[in-house]
């Protein structure tokens, strides 16, 4: 019994180490217009973050050829599709009609220059990049279906959840074993009194 408990405890302790495997960087998409000063400023800001190329990479997309004539670029249709889908699930500032239009996983879709994206990128990295833009680029249509769901879901990190559940199971097992031993002892005492 002690060997089994020791083995289970060893597994519980090593699960967080195993789940800390290297993750893929988050793709931060910037739909831009050629020569757009806000787009260039956004990219410069992102490249200055310490997590750049460690936790995230920048993927530039051409929504407009330039920021003067606003002629549609090669990625205009994709920008429109992504913005529309995000808007449908409640991202009110998601629009392809302004640049930079920045998309980060399924957490951020906004057309505005921002220097407050580090925490969003970090959260996307911890949760794992959903890469919504690639999903639409591949021709899929249900890329944000999980955000439309009305079910309640607990967003728990498995490196915490698994050890907690295993500890709970061990506690129940210990309680059950000690209860059955206690019953045996009581029965033995009763039988000796007779």
Residues 52 and 78 in one domain: yes
Q: Kindly state the tokens that stand for 21.
A: 């495997």
Residues 128 and 189 in one domain: no
H helices of the chain, in order, are 2-19, 37-47, 76-88, 118-127, 132-137, 145-148, 158-193
CATH of the domain at 47: 3.40.30.10
Has residue 20 got a pLDDT over 90?
no
Q: Kindly state the tokens that stand for 95.
A: 């629009």
What pLDDT, on the 0 to 100 scale, is given for residue 67? 87
Percent of the chain with pLDDT over 90: 60
Has residue 119 got a pLDDT over 50?
yes
Residues 85 and 129 in one domain: yes
pTM of the predicted model, to two decimals? Answer: 0.67
Has residue 133 got a pLDDT over 60?
yes
In this prediction, residues 7-15 reach a mean pLDDT of 55
Range of the domain at 174: 2-19+156-193
What pLDDT, on the 0 to 100 scale, is given for residue 94? 95
Residues 127 and 95 in one domain: yes
What pLDDT, on the 0 to 100 scale, is given for residue 151? 39
80-103 pLDDT, tens digit per residue, is 999 999 999 999 999 999 999 999
Peptide bond into 172 cis (omega under 30): no
- Report how many domains make up the chain: 2
Averaged pLDDT score across all residues of the chain: 83
């Amino acid at each position: 019994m002690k060997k089994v408990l020791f083995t289970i405890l060893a597994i519980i302790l090593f699960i967080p180490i195993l789940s800390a495997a290297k993750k893929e960087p988050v793709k931060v998409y910037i739909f831009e217009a050629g020569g757009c000063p806000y787009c260039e400023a956004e990219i410069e800001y992102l490249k200055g973050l310490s997590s750049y190329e460690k936790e995230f990479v920048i993927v530039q997309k051409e929504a407009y050829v330039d920021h003067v004539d606003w002629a549609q670029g090669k990625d205009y249709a994709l920008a429109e599709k992504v913005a529309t889908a995000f808007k449908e699930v409640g991202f009110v500032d998601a629009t392809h009609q302004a640049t930079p239009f920045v998309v980060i996983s399924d957490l951020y879709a906004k057309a505005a220059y921002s220097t407050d994206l580090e925490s969003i990128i970090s959260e996307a990295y911890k949760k794992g990049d959903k890469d919504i833009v690639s999903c639409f680029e591949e021709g899929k249509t249900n890329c944000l279906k999980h955000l439309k769901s009305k079910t309640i879901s607990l967003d728990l990190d498995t490196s915490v959840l698994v050890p907690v559940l295993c500890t709970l199971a061990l506690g129940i097992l210990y309680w059950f074993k000690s209860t059955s031993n206690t019953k045996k002892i009581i029965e033995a005492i009763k039988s000796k009194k007779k």
